Amino acid sequence: MKPVKFLSVETFRLRENQVFLALTVLIGIFGGLSAVLFTLAIEGTKHVLFGSAPSALRLVAVPTLVSLVTGFLLAKFFPEARGSGLPQVEAAYHLENGVIPGRVIFGKFLTGALCVGSGHSMGREGPSVQIGAGIASLFGRWLKLSPQRVRSLIPIGAAAALSAAFNTPVAAVLFALEEVMGDMNAALIGSTVVASVTAVIIERSILGEETLFRVPAYHLAHPAELIGYAVLGIVGGIVSLMFTQGLLRTRGLFRRLPAWTRIIQPAMGGLAIGIMLLFVPQVMGVGYQYVDQALDGALALRMLLLFCGAKLVATIISYSSGNAGGIFAPSLFLGAMAGGAVGIGMHAIAPFPTGDPGAYALVGMGALFAGIIRAPMTSVFMIFELTQDYQILVPLMVANLLAYAIATRFQPKPIYHALLEQDGIHLPGPASRFAAGMSRASDIMEPVPLFIPEDSSVDQALALIANEPSDSFLVGSQRRIAGIVRRHDLEEAASGGTTGIPLAPLLISKWAHVHADHSLELVLQRFRENPGLLPVVSRGEATRVEGVITLEAILEFVRRAPQE
Amino acid sequence: MKEPALADRERCPACQGPLSGGSCPSCTAVPGVQIIRREIVLLVFIAVAAVPTYMVTRRVADLNRQRNAHIAAYWYRQGERQLREGKPEEAIASLREATANDHDNRGFAFALAQALGATNRDDEARLALLRLRESAPESPQINLQLARLSARNHDLPEALRYYHHALYGLWTGERVDEQRRQVRLELIHLLLDHKERSRALAELMALSTDAPRTVNVQLELGQLYVEAGDTSNALQHFGQAAQLDTGNVAALSGAGETAFQIGDYKTAEGYLSRATALDKSATRAAQLLETTRLIQASDPLAVHLSRSERIQRLRAALDQSARRLQCGGNVSIGSVKGPLQLEIDALLPKITPQNLREDPELLAAGAELVFKIEEMTSQTCGKPEGLDEALLLAGRQHGATER
């Protein structure tokens, strides 16, 4: 039988890194394409269903009837495709090793396009992220990457999709790190950047260079105007609270309805939306054209207030009733309207010069995003990326901080986590992520109990380890490790009856190691590559051993770790 | 029982455990070569699949763009129709739909801005125009609309800035000079409305250098020069208009009036007489003609007069001044009335051919007294008429000449 050719562990690792890099680029391409296709599908659906100037009957009938269909699909075939998609992506990342079933991708695309295209007041970014992350997960599993690698593809796919859907590559990277992973120091930042940039290149090559919004030129009219932005932050926090509380409570009500109604709940929401469309058609779908108008300062105060209130109610109904669509775009819509209204108000009453209402609408978008989505860094960079103007940073941070603080004070659980908890899924909180992220090899390692001298024979080595409980031992000295030897191998060699056999042929010379400051996550990953023990070596002198990590030490650390 | 020793090639590269049938039972790792071959094949497959997916997406995007352009054009037509029907609010809503469906179409965005401006929604119109201007700062139309909005909001410096941007913008199409001329005319009117005569004159100079030699243009220029206070240039342009159309009453009247204003009564008489001959209803021209003739007939200092004629005119002028002195007047004239009357009384007997021959200054002294009385009484006794007006204007003309 022809022997199977194996590559060494090092070669294998290199290959996997190369595969990962190539896959990152491909995920960027497909993430971008999927987001663009999803956007086009929504527009196409909307055009087919409503035409150019829909009648009143059509406005009511379309969301109701289409929601009947999507309700059936979501109940019978794609239950994971309900809602935004972002909570599901986070759950997949934190709890399911990055596994997003292939049918979810298809189901989300289909039901998302139908729901948003049929007039439901929902966003396209959340579904795009779920589709992008799903594609990444699918590719990783096709390639039989390790579960850890598949998991790490999730934020890459999410960043790619969001980058293409919102045309802000930097904010997309930050969103993937801040919201999906919950770790701004993640080692995946390079890969997410590659995927995000690839996706936005793809998106721009198809849809053009134009930004999503026509953002007004920004300037702070007077230093005292920061008071106006502080007011906007407070208003943003209150509106965020109204939205999150309203959404969670209404969704709770829907969830308490009998199980058999689950299939018609989206249609109930569709009927309510249809009736709303008769009076305020501006709440239909994503609604970015009205955000544009608010940024233009083209909406009067009463229109801004009406749109803000109607969108808030419509989005709560659409989402709570179990349709497929996100809350990313609605939060920006609410922010633009609330911001524009505050801008007009400030202009009327402030004793100092104030900027255009459009500038307030822009900052309001960031404030509501920070208050609802709870990704303050992403919101700052997103608006900065839209304006490309440093002047906006200070007002933006003032408003974001206040909105975030108010929203967090009265609704501590972030909206996506709270939505998952309604579904009985508990994501690891920041505290547990912190513990995992901050635990170091130095917290786990123990002193090396025994070094087998390098020039020992097998017999001598066996005599040395006779009273030791471990199965693997370091050969060499504290200053220099020659390798690792396993008790099992020593005993096998000795069983031949020959004495004085040198130790060298039994040594495992290629072994993984960690440094004392390496994370627990890396320790666990490297531990699997070694036979039963992992040396902790000095950074300054890589051959010097500082300690060793054994399975027992890890178990002891886990036992000692504080419970969440 | 101890397991037999294994060679490296019989161990799993991942966990170092024994292999069974080429694969590792303790972990799921498979032979590296197989992994890499499978990975390469799959990666190539995914990469190749990206190409048709990209093409399809691009095609769908193109179709979507075409459809949006079609919808935008529909809403644009609706907006235009609604504007024509006097439904500006509905038109604005339609035009907004048009721009929302076709972001790239600057024509739609411009139409929306114009509609907003037409409905006095100046702030919105200004923002929309500024947005358009960001991508086309050289557009004369956008700058012109911004200038008009600024002018409407009495922001003269801003209006001037945009008018100049419009004037020196990148004009395209036919009749570029005519379009530029119209913009400059608009600017001149704005400056005149704001009493900025010197700036208006500067623009007028620029306008008249390459203005076409047509009656209407020259007439318009003449009128603008009059409004800007430059009667000499006004006369020149009215004169050119009259030259181009000898039967044009407006040109003749304009030329006559401006000649009258600068004191060129002979020229004025020529133009005014032609104007009144052509149009009997030209009352203003007729009045000016009458005054012009009276001035020429009564001015004692006019050239080419015989001594007797000059004496006759001076005496008549002094008599008229004496009569003018008798007007009600106010306290201030009351105090000088007596001495002036005494001066007239003293001077009148001296005005003889003999005295004038011996003392040529006597004529000047008499005329000066007449002009002084007419000037004084014009301020205290109301607007002079007839011979008084003629003497006053003649005096002013001589004063200006001396100056």
Which of A6, A490, A508 is most worth mutating to test chain B (most B CB atoms within 10 A of its CB)? A6
In angstroms, the Cα distances linking A524 to A80, A257, A439, A505, A543 are 31, 45, 11, 28, 21
Check whether residue A346 and residue A412 sit in a common domain: yes
Provide the pLDDT for residue B3. 43
Provide the pLDDT for residue B192. 92
Check whether residue A78 and residue A188 sit in a common domain: yes
**pLDDT (tens digit per residue) in A296-308:** 887 889 999 999 9
Check whether residue A202 and residue A283 sit in a common domain: no
Whether residue A406 is contained in a domain is answered as yes
**Greatest distance between any 2 Cα atoms in chain A:** 99
Sheet of A545-550: strand order equals: A514-515, A533-537, A545-550
Residue A562 has pLDDT above 60, yes or no: no
CA B11 to chain centre: 92
Whether residue B13 and residue A12 make contact (CB cut-off 8 A), yes or no, is: yes
Question: In B, which residues are within 8 Å of A44 by CB distance?
Answer: 60, 64
Of residues A89, A99, A365, A388, the one with CA closest to residue A232? A365
CATH classification at residue A548: 3.10.580.10
Greater confidence, B398 or A484? A484
Of residues A395, A368, A378, the one with CA closest to residue A239? A368
Average pLDDT over residues A458-481: 86
Least confident of A30-39, A331-340, A345-354: A345-354
Nearest CA in chain B to A45: B64
Mean per-residue pLDDT pooled into runs of 10, chain B (403 residues)? 48 61 56 60 92 95 92 92 89 89 86 88 84 86 93 91 91 84 92 90 88 88 90 90 89 91 87 88 85 84 80 84 74 66 79 79 83 82 82 79 53
CB under 8 A, 24+ apart: contacts of B107-114 = B107/B76, B108/B72, B108/B76, B110/B141, B110/B142, B110/B145, B111/B76, B111/B79, B111/B80, B112/B79, B113/B145, B114/B145
Sorted by where each begins, the domain ranges of chain B are: 230-298, 301-403
Q: Is the ipTM of this complex over 0.90?
A: no
Provide the pLDDT for residue B19. 62
Residue burial B131-146, b: 16+ Cβ < 10 Å; e: rest: bbbeeeeebbbbbbbb
Phi then psi for A94, rounded to 5 degrees?
-85, -30
Asked which of A375, A404, A425 is the last residue of a domain, the reply is A425
**pLDDT (tens digit per residue) in A92-110:** 998 888 999 999 999 999 9
Whether residue A298 and residue B57 make contact (CB cut-off 8 A), yes or no, is: no
Check whether residue A391 and residue A473 sit in a common domain: no
Least confident of A64-68, A240-244, B322-326: B322-326
Q: Which residues form the domain of A150?
A: 9-212
Nearest beta carbon to residue B57 from set A36, A208, A495: A36
Least confident of A34-48, A170-184, A318-332, B192-206: A170-184
| DSSP structure class, residue A299 | S
Provide the pLDDT for residue A1. 45
Question: In A, which residues are within 8 Å of B43 by CB distance?
Answer: 19, 22-23, 26, 143
Q: List CB contacts of B86: < 8 A, sequence separation 6 or more.
A: none
Residue with the two structure tokens 């709870």: A374
Q: List CB contacts of B385: < 8 A, sequence separation 6 or more.
A: none
* Contact predicate B225/B237, CB 8 Å: yes
Greater confidence, A1 or A231? A231
Q: What angle do CA B76, B82, B84 make, to 5 degrees?
A: 105
pTM exceeds cut of 0.80: no
Residue A356 has pLDDT above 60, yes or no: yes
Residue with the two structure tokens 């890459």: A156
Of residues A413, A75, A107, A488, the one with CA closest to residue A267? A75
* Contact predicate A132/A157, CB 8 Å: yes
Question: In B, which residues are within 8 Å of A388 by CB distance?
Answer: none
Least confident of A5-14, A48-57, A135-144, A500-509: A5-14
Provide the pLDDT for residue A122. 95
Distance from CA of B172 to the nearest CA of A (A): 26
Structure tokens at B398: 């001589």
Check whether residue A159 and residue A42 sit in a common domain: yes
Strands (E), A208-251: none
Asked which of A425, A456, A477 is the last residue of a domain, the reply is A425
Question: In A, which residues are within 8 Å of B32 by CB distance?
Answer: 5-7, 11-12, 15
Whether residue A26 and residue B46 make contact (CB cut-off 8 A), yes or no, is: yes
Whether residue A431 is contained in a domain is answered as no
Check whether residue A133 and residue A281 sit in a common domain: no
Helices (H), A2-55: 9-50
Nearest beta carbon to residue A26 from set B47, B116, B124: B47
Check whether residue A392 and residue A535 sit in a common domain: no
Asked which of A385, A402, A425 is the last residue of a domain, the reply is A425
Whether residue A2 is contained in a domain is answered as no
Instruction: State the count of interchain CB pairs (< 8 A) between A and B.
Output: 122
Structure tokens at A222: 């007077």
Check whether residue A83 and residue A35 sit in a common domain: yes
CATH classification at residue A194: 1.10.3080.10
* Contact predicate B201/B232, CB 8 Å: no
Residue A135 has pLDDT above 80, yes or no: yes
Whether residue A401 is contained in a domain is answered as yes
Helices (H), A466-528: 487-494, 520-527
Note the CATH number of domain B230-298.
Answer: 1.25.40.10
Check whether residue A80 and residue A159 sit in a common domain: yes
Least confident of A72-81, A162-171, A246-255, A528-537: A528-537
Whether residue A142 is contained in a domain is answered as yes
**pLDDT (tens digit per residue) in A486-499:** 888 888 888 877 66
- Number of domains chain A contains: 3
Residue A115 has pLDDT above 80, yes or no: yes
In angstroms, the Cα distances linking A514 to A479, A529, A534 are 16, 11, 7
Whether residue A3 is contained in a domain is answered as no
Whether residue A361 is contained in a domain is answered as yes
Average pLDDT over residues A247-270: 94
Which SS3 state, helix, strand or coil, does residue B74 take? helix
Q: List CB contacts of A455: < 8 A, sequence separation 6 or more.
A: A503
Structure tokens at A323: 């349709």
Amino acid, single-letter form, for residue A246: G
Check whether residue A259 and residue A157 sit in a common domain: no
Residue A114 has pLDDT above 80, yes or no: yes
Distance from CA of B24 to the nearest CA of A (A): 12
The pLDDT confidence band at residue A428, using thresholds 50, 70 and 90, is: low
Whether residue A525 is contained in a domain is answered as yes
